[in-house]
Amino acid sequence: MKILLLNLYYPPDTSATAKMAHTVVDTVSVHHQVTVLCGRPSYDPSERRAWRLYQTEIMGRARVIRVGSTAFPRFDMKKRVLNYLSYTALAASRALFVNCDVVLAMTDPPFQGIISAFVAMLKRKPFAYNTRDLYPDMAVGGAIVELGILARIWEKLHRWALRRADRVVVLGEDMRTRIIAKGVKPSRVAVIRDGAHVLPPTAPLPTPDPEVVHAIRGNFSFVLLHAGNLGFSGAWNTLITAARRLAHDGVGLVFVGDGARRAEVVAAAAGSENIRFLDYFPSAKIQSVLAAADAHVVTVKRGLEGVVVPSKMYEILAAGKPIVAVAPKETDVASLGIQQGFAVAADPDKPAELVEAVRMLAADRNKLKTMGDAARAAAPAYDRVAELQKFVEMLDSIAVLSKIRKGR
């Protein structure tokens, strides 16, 4: 089967969708022919590409077609929109001439699903939609755009794209619930999680780098770590407010990472000696970063449950670390964490709940160990290899559908 994947970002881009797209392509291309239609590298790329209207390269077993989109840095949001628009204009027209049996879309740019649905309709091909973040829900809930006529039109078109998709791949049960509520048939919505590489239960965890551990822990007796994107979806005010109240408990709140809201979070934390901000560590040090914390924060602010599904939860579980879910109880990280014993949850609008939860963990090392053991016990259920196999099976089911349509 010939699969056409559309996503703005692809390696050497380093965004989460670029990495996941590459992982999916590596797996799927063992069984099928994959063409990736992406833009010029612009998301903190490890290397650049000279401008060409279209350029083709072979990466692994896949053919990669890069369109001549603008390549402004991701931190300049106005110019980043030009990346989106230039990519969309060039990729949509080019896609019509790519021979394929299935159109597969991810969610960069945020309206990729709509454009890809139109492409699939014009090509009369089955359409699979891998929903990474749910738009325009994310843009409205994250206060990126106002709830006006533009958002309403966007939502109407997005619902059309979702309903037209032969398969909608979502990252969790909370996202599945939200998408079904938009009128998509439940039988068409498949939960395929990002997962993580999971060691056998009897295998020892890697020995952490002491320099990384010291850089994160400092002199704190208990470290609550948020490692990842400081974007629009987190309950940052609740975290900062709670951390200030924990200043005399020996608790440190450490942020490792960057994102669109980092400057605001740094400003909100000004003057707090128990709140620290560090840049990302090299990817080879991820296991040491995970090991350095007593507990990890996963946060989703109210209104965005099912809109974003933080995939870092699976890496934390594989590292055998407890989670403090500062998120609504409807989110997967809170509901699964409470059910399986690896997380405690705090209302994202109530700093006092977070303070109470952290104090309880800091005072009860046995509870902390029990949660860590539960985390590692839960991890095999989210093994990345098994989740990727579900992706292959989903595409195989569409292949059958494609043959049926050709036979009509």
CATH number at residue 330: 3.40.50.2000
Q: In this structure, is residue 202 part of a structural domain?
A: no
How high is the pLDDT of residue 138? 85
Q: In this structure, is residue 330 part of a structural domain?
A: yes
Kindly state whether residues 235 and 185 are assigned to the same domain: no
Kindly state whether residues 232 and 140 are assigned to the same domain: no
How high is the pLDDT of residue 403? 67
Residues 207-245: tens digit of each pLDDT:
999 999 999 999 999 999 999 999 889 999 999 999 999
Kindly state whether residues 75 and 168 are assigned to the same domain: yes
Kindly state whether residues 235 and 98 are assigned to the same domain: no
Question: What is the DSSP annotation of 220-269?
Answer: -SEEEEEES---SSS-HHHHHHHHHHTGGGTEEEEEE---TTHHHHHHHT
How high is the pLDDT of residue 283? 87
Kindly state whether residues 134 and 228 are assigned to the same domain: no
Kindly state whether residues 222 and 185 are assigned to the same domain: no
Q: In this structure, is residue 290 part of a structural domain?
A: yes
Please name the residue that has the structure tokens 């690896």. 342
Kindly state whether residues 152 and 289 are assigned to the same domain: no
Between the alpha carbon of residue 77 and those of residues 131, 172, 259, the distances in Å are 22, 28, 12
Between the alpha carbon of residue 203 and those of residues 209, 229, 320, 376, 384, the distances in Å are 18, 30, 12, 11, 17
Q: Taking CA 286 as the corner, what is the angle to CA 282 and CA 291, rounded to the nearest 5 degrees?
A: 140
Q: Rounded distance, CA 407 to CA 262, Å?
A: 54
How high is the pLDDT of residue 145? 77
Specify which residues 252 forms β-bridges with: 223
Q: How many structural domains does the chain have?
A: 2
- Extended strands (E) in 18-142: 33-38, 54-59, 62-67, 102-105, 127-130
Q: In this structure, is residue 38 part of a structural domain?
A: yes
Kindly state whether residues 281 and 240 are assigned to the same domain: yes
Q: In this structure, is residue 200 part of a structural domain?
A: no
How high is the pLDDT of residue 402? 67
Between the alpha carbon of residue 69 and those of residues 84, 89, 92, 283, the distances in Å are 8, 9, 12, 28
Kindly report the average pLDDT of the chain as a whole number.
94
Kindly state whether residues 252 and 333 are assigned to the same domain: yes
Structure tokens at 269: 């934390």
Q: In this structure, is residue 201 part of a structural domain?
A: no
Antiparallel, parallel or unpaired: β 222-227 and 251-256: parallel
How high is the pLDDT of residue 406? 65
Kindly state whether residues 187 and 215 are assigned to the same domain: no
How high is the pLDDT of residue 404? 66
Global pTM value: 0.91
How high is the pLDDT of residue 370? 97
Q: In this structure, is residue 204 part of a structural domain?
A: no
105 is in which domain, residue-wise?
A: 2-195+384-407
* Regions of the chain short of the pLDDT cut 50: none
Kindly state whether residues 345 and 388 are assigned to the same domain: no
Q: In this structure, is residue 247 part of a structural domain?
A: yes
Kindly state whether residues 229 and 258 are assigned to the same domain: yes
Q: Are 328 and 305 in contact (CB under 8 A)?
A: yes
How high is the pLDDT of residue 10? 97
Burial class (CB in 10 A: 0-12, 13-18, 19+), 264: middle
Between the alpha carbon of residue 201 and those of residues 88, 220, 318, 378, the distances in Å are 45, 30, 10, 10
